[in-house]
């Protein structure tokens, strides 16, 4: 089974978000970057499938050289080789076109990625790649099993799930409880150094959106504390003051 | 020219999130001095669609063929693309749901459109721009995005916009489509739904528990309060990770992002990843025995106390309110 996993390089989930003084860009100073957590669920599931059934796992990232450390981490976790499309990922459509262009020639059985990235939260790239390549996309998938040429997936919907049986090839976007992410071991880290990481130049592609400026949510005006002995007062305040009951 | 809104349907009913989307679409149409039309897909009868006139919709195209009774992204995309053409739509409004977001991406590619998901404002049309604000960094920030293509697709955040009502009846027209086998590849063979529960993603009130609940055996305290308030229940990531509650109840940065009117956090300290998933809630209540819990800084109301003592009092007061 030939699997492509798309990974995004994102700020660690504990990051306090700030912007440049003109509010035009995310301030990366002092920020630790990680593999997008949802993409890690996809990566781990891909590696589990490879371990059980054979095949290969390639990771692809659309990004600049600062993503290489996390691409190496994906190799250390167990991917076989990696591609980095050397470009600033301006928007989902741009990224999707790069991934689709690379994947087109490779005939992957599965293309996996997270349901969204924790920085831009678009929930778009999987659907766009699927549309460009003419493949089905199951998003968001919480379970993926493969037997021969057929996959069985569970797709999360509001208040439940759907069961889908479908022939390969396909695209799935992942979220928990898809898999339990792994921490790379020493052997993985050593072998990752010599695994191939190919850098390719982007194709010409159009973005569909322009990010103009950023802002932070308004701060709360302050918390009103209620005596635990009279906890019931809270309910009356929620009705009469906050007017949410 | 028109604004087209996707009407999601289940069990012959229009979903609440689609009523929000229709109301939003009407406001966009007013700003653009044009009309708003709908496209309804799935298990729905034409009779159930005419009342969408109350949200300002003049005409609804519908397709309720057997093949789209369940959601299949490619088939839905085909129906919406055809409706875009029939309506002469310039703007398409979706709800940021498991359906809306999935078809939005496909539509954007198929129709060369600009797409913004997770949108929280009406478009700013100053100059020749078409700018919307969307949630980014998992609820920790907002970005103002300009949609540059001729056709613009917007998926709005749930609970971010009020449902508006006016007098009116929508004209309802069938939109027959010939589906190919590829269009319906991936049709679900089975749908499993939790019954009798309020949907977390659509709930306007949510009661949520963290490790401070001390164990799954205390979860009835959360459920009792939720029942008394008519609220959905949720949990923090550590609670889902240790298996006290299923993963689909986990709200936070790597779980579900919600924006209810009222969020009551019980025994949750308020790690930045959790706050990210809930900080667009309108009113936040924090109950924690640790007065230093960081969540109090993000709260509107707080109670320092043990959940085992505080929650039953709240449940009792909520029940009294209902009587």
The answer to whether A96 and A111 have CB atoms below 8 angstroms apart is no
* ipTM surpassing 0.85: yes
Phi, psi of A240 (to 5 degrees): -85, -30
pLDDT tens for the 323 residues of chain B, in order: 899 999 999 889 999 999 999 999 999 999 999 999 999 999 999 999 999 999 999 999 999 999 998 999 999 999 999 999 999 999 999 999 999 989 999 999 999 999 999 999 999 999 889 999 999 998 899 999 999 999 999 999 988 899 999 999 999 999 999 999 999 999 999 988 876 678 888 889 999 999 999 999 999 999 999 999 999 999 999 999 999 999 989 999 888 889 899 999 999 999 999 998 998 899 999 999 999 999 999 999 999 999 999 999 999 999 998 77
Q: Which of residues 159-218 of B touch A (CB under 8 A)?
A: 182, 185-194, 197, 199-202, 205
B121 contacts chain A (CB < 8 A): no
- The yes-or-no verdict on residue A193 having pLDDT over 90 is yes
Q: Over pLDDT 70: what percentage of chain A?
A: 100
- Please give the pLDDT value at position B196: 65
Q: For position A218, what pLDDT does the model report? A: 85
Contact A244 B296 (CB under 8 A): no
CATH 3.40.50.620 fits A2-214, yes or no: yes
Interface of B with A in 254-313 (CB under 8 A): 254-255, 257, 261-262, 271-273, 276, 279-280, 282-286, 296-306, 309-310, 313
The answer to whether B170 touches B50, Cβ cutoff 8 Å, is yes
Q: Write down the pLDDT at residue B142.
A: 96
pLDDT of A153 above 70: yes
Type and span of the H or E element at B59: strand B59-63
Residues 51-80 of B with CB under 8 A from A: 70-71, 73-74, 77
**Residue for token pair 């949907």:** B199
pLDDT for the residue B82: 98
Instruction: Give the domains, in start order, of chain B with CATH numbers.
Output: 2-184 (3.40.50.620), 205-322 (3.40.50.1220)
Q: What number of other Cβ atoms are within 10 A of residue B231's Cβ?
A: 25
Mean pLDDT of A77-100: 97
* Sign of the alpha-carbon torsion through A167, A170, A173, A177: positive
Residues in chain A closer than 8 A to B273 (CB atoms): 13-14
């Amino acid at each position: 089974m030939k699997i492509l996993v798309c990974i995004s390089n994102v700020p660690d989930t504990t990051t306090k978000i700030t912007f440049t003084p003109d509010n035009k860009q995310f301030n990366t100073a002092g920020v630790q970057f990680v593999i997008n957590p949802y993409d890690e669920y996809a990566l781990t599931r891909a590696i589990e499938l490879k371990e059980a059934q054979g095949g290969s796992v390639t990771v692809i990232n659309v990004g600049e050289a600062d993503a290489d450390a996390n691409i190496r981490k994906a190799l250390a976790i167990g991917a076989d080789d990696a591609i980095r499309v050397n470009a600033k990922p301006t928007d989902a459509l741009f990224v999707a076109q790069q991934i689709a262009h690379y994947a087109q020639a490779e005939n992957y059985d599965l293309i996996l990625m997270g349901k969204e990235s924790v920085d831009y939260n678009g929930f778009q790239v999987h659907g766009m790649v699927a549309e460009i390549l003419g493949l089905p996309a199951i998003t968001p998938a919480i379970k993926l099993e493969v037997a021969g040429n057929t996959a069985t997936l569970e797709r999360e919907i509001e208040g439940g799930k759907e069961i889908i049986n479908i022939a390969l090839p396909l695209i799935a976007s992942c979220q928990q409880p898809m898999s339990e992410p792994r921490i790379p071991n020493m052997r993985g880290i050593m072998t990752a150094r010599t695994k191939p990481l190919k850098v390719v130049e982007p194709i010409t592609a159009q973005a569909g959106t322009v990010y103009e400026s950023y802002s932070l949510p308004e701060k709360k005006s302050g918390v009103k504390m209620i005596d635990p002995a009279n906890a019931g007062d809270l309910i009356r305040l929620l009705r009469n003051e906050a007017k949410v009951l | 020219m028109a604004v087209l809104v996707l009407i999601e349907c289940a069990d012959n009913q229009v979903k609440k999130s689609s009523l929000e989307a229709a109301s939003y679409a009407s406001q966009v149409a007013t700003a653009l001095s044009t009309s708003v039309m709908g496209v309804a897909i799935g298990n729905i009868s034409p009779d159930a669609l005419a009342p969408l006139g109350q949200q300002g919709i003049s005409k609804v195209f519908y397709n309720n063929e057997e093949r789209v009774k369940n959601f299949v992204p490619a088939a839905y995309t085909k129906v919406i693309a055809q409706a875009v053409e029939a309506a002469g739509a310039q703007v398409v409004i979706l709800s940021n749901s498991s359906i809306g977001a999935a078809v939005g991406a496909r539509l954007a590619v198929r129709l060369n459109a600009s797409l913004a998901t997770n949108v929280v404002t009406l478009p700013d049309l100053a100059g020749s721009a078409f700018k919307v604000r969307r949630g980014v960094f998992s609820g920790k920030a907002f970005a103002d995005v300009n949609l540059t293509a001729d056709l613009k697709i917007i998926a709005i955040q749930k609970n971010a916009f009020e449902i508006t009502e006016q007098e009116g009846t929508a004209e309802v027209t069938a939109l027959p489509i010939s589906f190919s086998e590829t269009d319906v590849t991936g049709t679900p063979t089975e749908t499993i739904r939790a019954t009798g529960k309020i949907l977390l993603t659509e709930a306007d009130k949510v009661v949520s528990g963290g490790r401070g609940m001390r164990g799954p055996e205390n979860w009835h305290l959360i459920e009792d309060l939720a029942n008394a308030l008519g609220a959905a229940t949720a949990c923090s990531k550590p609670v889902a990770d240790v298996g006290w509650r299923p993963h689909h109840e986990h709200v936070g940065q790597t779980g579900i992002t919600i924006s209810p009117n009222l969020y009551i956090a019980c025994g949750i300290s308020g790690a930045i990843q959790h706050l990210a998933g809930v900080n667009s809630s309108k009113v936040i209540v924090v109950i924690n025995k640790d007065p230093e819990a960081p969540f109090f800084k993000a709260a509107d109301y707080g109670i320092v106390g043990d959940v085992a003592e505080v929650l039953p009092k709240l449940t009792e007061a909520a029940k009294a309110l209902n009587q």
